[in-house]
Structure 1
Amino acid sequence: MKPAPFDYLRAASSHDALEVLAQTGEDARILAGGQSLMAVLNMRLAQPRVLIDISRTEDLDRTIIDHGHLVVNAAATQGSVEWRPSLQNEVPLLALAFPHISHFQIRNRGTVCGSIAHADPSAELPLVLSVLGGDVMLRSKKRKRVLKAGDFFQGMLMTAREPDELVEGVRFPLKRAGERYAFTEFSARHGDFAMVACATVVTDTYIRIAVGGVADRPVVEQWPRLHGDDLRGALNDLSWKLNAQDDTHVSATYRRHLVRQLGWRVIEEAK
């Protein structure tokens, strides 16, 4: 299939994009990397009247360190962040997650903010942002606001973004002393969406784990340091809490098994 007809605007700056969003709202879609959006348009799951291309806006193509966060703006590609020489020391969990995201050709075009805005519950970047307690920076012509990841993701491909708002950037907290990280996922083949993905942050006093690919959004749990049967019991409770469903790829029973096994693996690795 091909997209329904639409008008195309290449924005020269974020100001241009916000002006059009203010005028068109729900009739517009933002195009940054297009790796998710173009598939949605081709299947006519979305039929916007206007497509606003921000991929060449210099003021949105930035990745900077600011007040204890790695701030990735809307036009910055996944590849440009992945290849930062300092990423391993800045946000180690991002460095661990990037190789699991599709293939390098996709990461070369796809944007970090585009993945966050798309809010696929099986995607790696929403999972990392959630377990780190990161923020989503939203901007319209009239206001700016910042939401925690847990408040931004509201369901399957659903977010708290208003129609006239742009996901201007996302903020990943920098590595904190004493934190250790791990990431893993299971998919039918490398590059496919994860059937289950797990990310964790472990310190000497707590375990924080996030699970993707099961519920309709990333789910984050925090426990004190658990070991042995106590940890297995907590992971089993979590696997049932996520309300896994059968689908064409895998059964609910197997998804619960993956949550228990992958969860144990990442926690032990991060310890």
Structure 2
Amino acid sequence: MIPAAFDYVAPTTVDDAVRALSEAGEDAKVIAGGQSLLPVLRMRLAAPSKLIDLGRIPELRGVREDGDTLVIGAMTTHYEVQRDPLVREHALLLACATDTVADPQVRHRGTLGGSLAHADPAGDLLAPALALDAELVVSGMDGRRAVPATEFFTDFFETSLRPGEILCEIRLPKYTGWSAHYEKFNRVAQAWSIVAVAAAVRVENDTIAQARVGLTNMAATPVRATAVEQALIGQPATPEAITEAAQHAAEGTAPTTDGNADVEYRQHLARVLTSRAVTAALST
């Protein structure tokens, strides 16, 4: 199907993009990599009056260090995130999750910021952002503001982005020396996660000193498995301790029933995949 007619603008600065979005009003849409928006347009589930393309804004791309913080531009593609040495060194969990996103074609076009702003609870990058205490910097006519990941995802496909705001960059504390793994369960390769677990751990003297665990598709927003984290900290890095801690994975979740799984099965998957994810992280 062909999308409905719309005006198109490709600003070259964030200020110009914000201005264009503000002037266009509620009927405008922002396009990043287009991997989520274009299918919606083609099915005419959305019919914006204006499309604002962020692809020509250099300041929205790239990875850099800012002291103890890793900064990733919202328009940085999945392919670039996968291969960036700074991401691999300081935010390995994000790189591991990005490795599982769709297929090479999508990873070359899709962007980190676009995925986070789309806020699909089955998307693979929301849980890692939450687990790693990401801070999302957005820009609007009133200036810039930083939103913690815990406050950014508000509901099913909804975020705290206000009208006229765009996501500019993602800021992550450095997790240098941490081990990580993203365990994803789906029916076929390249499909959305039925359930997935993002796990990052730091070990000292064979003891788990710190842990971060995020769950994908276990609620309308990504979920931090804090009960698992608390159960892991201070425990020996053994299969028995990991299995016991993983039994807390479904606590505080609100999974849905759909054609792929019911609530009980998703809760079971959360426990099993958490054990696998932490075990795999500790083996890296």
Give the direction of change, closer, same or farther, for the CA distance of 1:23–1:100 in structure 2 (3 Å limit). Answer: same
Query: Does structure 1 residue 208 correspond to structure 2 residue 212?
Result: yes
Identity of aligned residues (%): 31
Aligned partner of 2:261 in structure 1 is 250
1:157 maps to amino acid:
F
Distance in 2 separating the partners of 1:75 and 1:269 = 30
Distance in 2 separating the partners of 1:216 and 1:60 = 28
1:186 maps to amino acid:
F
Give the CA deviation at 1:153: 0.4
Question: Where does the alignment leave 5 or more consecutive residues of structure 2 unmatched?
Answer: 203-207
Question: Where does the alignment leave 5 or more consecutive residues of structure 1 unmatched?
Answer: none
Measured against aligned partners, the alpha-carbon deviations of 1:65-94 in whole angstroms (never above 9, x if no partner) come to 123222121322111222224432132112
Measured against aligned partners, the alpha-carbon deviations of 1:182-224 in whole angstroms (never above 9, x if no partner) come to 2110011111000001011223334331111121111002314
Distance in 2 separating the partners of 1:233 and 1:44 = 48
Measured against aligned partners, the alpha-carbon deviations of 1:156-182 in whole angstroms (never above 9, x if no partner) come to 1100000110101111222245x3322
Q: How does 1:3-152 map to 2 (within 5 A)?
A: 3-152=3-152
Aligned partner of 2:195 in structure 1 is 196
TM-score in terms of structure 2 length: 0.88
Distance in 2 separating the partners of 1:131 and 1:145 = 21
Distance in 1 separating the partners of 2:55 and 2:81 = 15
How many residue pairs are counted as aligned between the two chains? 270
Distance in 2 separating the partners of 1:25 and 1:78 = 29
Give the direction of change, closer, same or farther, for the CA distance of 1:58–1:231 in structure 2 (3 Å limit). Answer: closer
CA RMSD of aligned residues (A): 2.0
Distance in 1 separating the partners of 2:134 and 2:108 = 23
Q: Is the 8 A contact 1:130 1:149 kept in 2?
A: yes
Distance in 2 separating the partners of 1:269 and 1:21 = 44
Give the direction of change, closer, same or farther, for the CA distance of 1:246–1:240 in structure 2 (3 Å limit). Answer: farther
Distance in 1 separating the partners of 2:270 and 2:209 = 22
Which one of 252, 258, 278 corresponds to residue 267 of structure 1?
278
Give the direction of change, closer, same or farther, for the CA distance of 1:81–1:234 in structure 2 (3 Å limit). Answer: closer
1:192 maps to amino acid:
A
Q: Is the 8 A contact 1:113 1:170 kept in 2?
A: yes
Give the direction of change, closer, same or farther, for the CA distance of 1:223–1:240 in structure 2 (3 Å limit). Answer: closer
Aligned partner of 1:158 in structure 2 is 158
Give the direction of change, closer, same or farther, for the CA distance of 1:139–1:175 in structure 2 (3 Å limit). Answer: same
Q: Is the 8 A contact 1:205 1:224 kept in 2?
A: no
Distance in 2 separating the partners of 1:44 and 1:51 = 14
Distance in 1 separating the partners of 2:149 and 2:98 = 18
- Give the secondary structure class of the aligned counterpart of 2:35: coil
2:209 maps to amino acid:
T
Give the direction of change, closer, same or farther, for the CA distance of 1:124–1:23 in structure 2 (3 Å limit). Answer: same
Q: Which runs of 4+ in 1 moved over 3 A?
A: 226-238
2:191 maps to amino acid:
D
1:189 maps to amino acid:
V
Distance in 1 separating the partners of 2:172 and 2:215 = 18
Distance in 1 separating the partners of 2:200 and 2:181 = 7
Query: Does structure 1 residue 217 correspond to structure 2 residue 221?
Result: yes
1:255 maps to amino acid:
R
Measured against aligned partners, the alpha-carbon deviations of 1:213-267 in whole angstroms (never above 9, x if no partner) come to 1211110023142577776565444325323222112222221221111011112
Give the direction of change, closer, same or farther, for the CA distance of 1:268–1:54 in structure 2 (3 Å limit). Answer: same
Q: Is the 8 A contact 1:206 1:224 kept in 2?
A: no
Distance in 1 separating the partners of 2:279 and 2:80 = 30
